[in-house]
Chains A and B, each alone.
Chain A
Amino acid sequence: MRKSLTALASALLISSVAVAQKVEFEEYTLDNGLHVVLHQDKSAPVVVTSVMYHVGAKDENPERTGFAHFFEHLLFEGTENIARGEWFKLVTSNGGHNNANTSDDRTYYYEVFPSNNLELAIWMESDRLLQPVINQIGVDTQNEVVKEEKRLRVDNSPYGNWITEVKKNLFKKHPYRWAPIGSMDHLDAATLEEFRAFNKKFYVPNNAVLVIAGDIEFNQTKELVEKYFGVIKRGADVPKVNIQEDAITQPIIATAEDPNIQIPMYITAYRTPSMKTRDARVLDMISSYLSGGKSSPMYKKIVDEKKMALQLFAFNYAQEDYGMYLIAGLPMGDTTREALQSEIDAEITKLQTELISERDYQKLQNDFENRYVNGNSNLESLAENLASNYLLYGDINLINEEINIYRSITREEIRDVAKKYLNSNSRLLLDYVPAKDESAK
């Protein structure tokens, strides 16, 4: 039995050498600094038009948090050529759909249309950059919408605040210490002039990448891009955050309360290096190994066998300047923090001292390869990957080469990286607990 499995594994290894994927693209930069990436795929008459701006929550003034996310809303209010409230109608009545999202590092807008509406999409996105209408009506409207969103997703949502609490404790200097949703007081206090200034500073072509992917002709697309985006003026250079955190040398012990929960969440969090580093990739594999799926060692032992936790998960929160490696568990019954922690630590220690098995390693490789391949299988995610590979990772070729990094990670490296970062002296232990009941007092 063992023998046949080994034979199978080696047969699989041999066949894995040859194949590689090849996503082809063209890239160039307009005179105004806008970087353009074009990917042609004529298999379906669809085109994705997206712009990623290199502005996120970390670029905000600490007295005006929430601005980046607020802009994601504000920039749907309309432009000089698109009347207020018309944006979404324009998209659906032309057979498309659209959306946007904001992180600590960037803000992303996109439209998906049948390919005969390529020009419409370019017109819309370029007008948003060239001449958005930023006025008091729009600010007031979106202020209400954002507050509603915060109530829904954060304030009223069980466990809605835990990542924010982790960030607050893990970062002392770096702007990762606040969350993209930001402060409602800051947003209320902001003047129209401040919003306009934010737009002028960050929403400039030299701070963005335009990705057009799908059923396109290169020449025609380039002409349209030049026609609509070419007229936009270059902005001033955009300063980048450059703030270093001090190393964590003592465990940080913290507690946070959530009025919406009944079961505490015990969080173990480590500050890790930028997602651009190789070590961050190794940590990705570690999280997948430890708690990815029901057959992972941590899940199997703590949830399935010992029934100490209702739920347990680990993941590597990869970001541009720093990452976070997070392990969180919901204790079952009266399992204590200490008991849960010692099980978690035992698994980490094992990972730091022993090599994972060959079969687990190969399964991990298969898992990452599947994930990677499927991650590029639809045009929307492919476009976003192209944008973030260029803008955040600084290497657009990762679209084809990223998998090679994972393939080259060895079992020894997994052990060593676990040893290097998952250190009990440099971590945060956060008890995210139910708020004390006021009425019980």
Chain B
Amino acid sequence: MNILLALLFPIIGAFIMPLTKKLKGYISVLVSILSFLTVLSIYPEISNGQNIEFCMKMVFDMHIFVDKLNFIILSFVSFLNILIVIYSIKYIKKDHLRYYSLLLLTMGFTLGSFLSGDLLTFYIFFEMTTLFSFFLVMYRGTGKARRAGFMYLVMCLTGGALILISVGLVYVQEGNFEIYNLNNSASFLFILGCLIKAGAFPLHFWLPEAHPVAPSPVSALLSGIMIKIGIYGIIRFFMTHESIYWVAIIAVSSMLFGVILALIQSDIKKILAYHSISQIGYMLLGVSISSLGIAGGLFHMINHAIFKSLLFLCMGAVIYSTGERKIQKLGGLYKKMPYTMMTCIIASFAISGIPLFNGFVSKTIIFDSLSDTLLKIAFILTGAGTFISFCKLNKYVFFGKLPDNLKSTKEVPKLMLFSMIALSIICIFIGVFPNIVFKNLYTGVFDFWSLSHLLEMSASVILGACIFVFGKKVGLFDIKEYNIDKIYGKFADFINSFCKNINGIVSKDLNIYILCILLFLIILFFI
């Protein structure tokens, strides 16, 4: 029963929001700390090997299930929630009621989806997170935000619909909603639904629209936590130890596609969003290969939550201080915002997989579980691409010449810095002591510091560095604009004109109505 409080605290906090006048941010922090402590309080039972499960009898039975795998994810997610709320105390300047209540509701339901013990509960929390994060994505209210929000809503609801159909298929065949195995149309639909939520390659196009357009702490929440719900669903519910080839293909294409597109963006948050797609590819690759890979994928889930949130928070700090989002207009901020620069560099090292940071440990595990040479090559290429992209990002944002209109930028407020520094400390900590987390995920030993692993990782970094230096000389990284938005814009215009035309087709004549009735009668008579 206690673990349910972890999810109920944020939701009740959201309902208290209208009653408090000024202290909304602080109450939210309090509520998220309470939720984190609730999660930690079940640690004694978990470490003994017991699993917590219970069933709430409402219309349907909703099952909550916590075991070792779950516990690690839950504790990191709830801790991340605290840091995001602390960051947004200073970041969000107006309209607090709407923001904090939606944020708390989203956080509560996200925790719920990691707690779910059967398919129907998972579906229920999946849909609720989509609903509330939709309003958060549309928070800014600009036309671009609205379009991105609707695209996000439709895609995630489609994912939810696919999951519902698979839940129905499982129920009809099995009679309950417990964990089920592969080779089935139900599992195909379920994995497809989860992939839409995760943002894997063919169905990813909502991600680069929705994540940049939200406020920065919300982007951190979305990119850091919410896309992991999909991966968690695949691992928990449809996992065997065989490999799923088609998921591996999708994973590799996400990795490469994400990195390649990230290299040609010029909006800082869009770069990070495309990198989310490629990191999701890493996780999917790990999940689809072997059981060691599943552990690697899970570990990468946690690490990605940490360093991607840190990156979004850093970029949010840059936007907060300067008001600019394009890299052409930024530069030379290392003097004005030193702490931001340091945390950003730590996060970039983490995402590129440099040893002593947390990205290295999870990427090594995934790389080790690969057996196919083609996959290994793709892996190294993606690693190189990631390193290049972050070199470019840091160079253009923090180094170089400071533009004239940015001469008066200051460092961000201390509360925001607190979150960023806390996250970077965790990055380094996990990078140096990976076994603390890893022993909960896998029942074997893994030698992180063996020479072969170090060499493999270094290969991608060195390759990246070479290409970067070469590319700078050649001018390969001149900024171009690439906009998938145009395709979606055309689609939206098409739907608009279609709707207007349909309204004109439906006739208003009474005679036609009665004619339709008679035709209906006659046609049905002859069928």
Q: Do A and B bind each other?
A: no
Residues of B within 8 A of A (CB): none
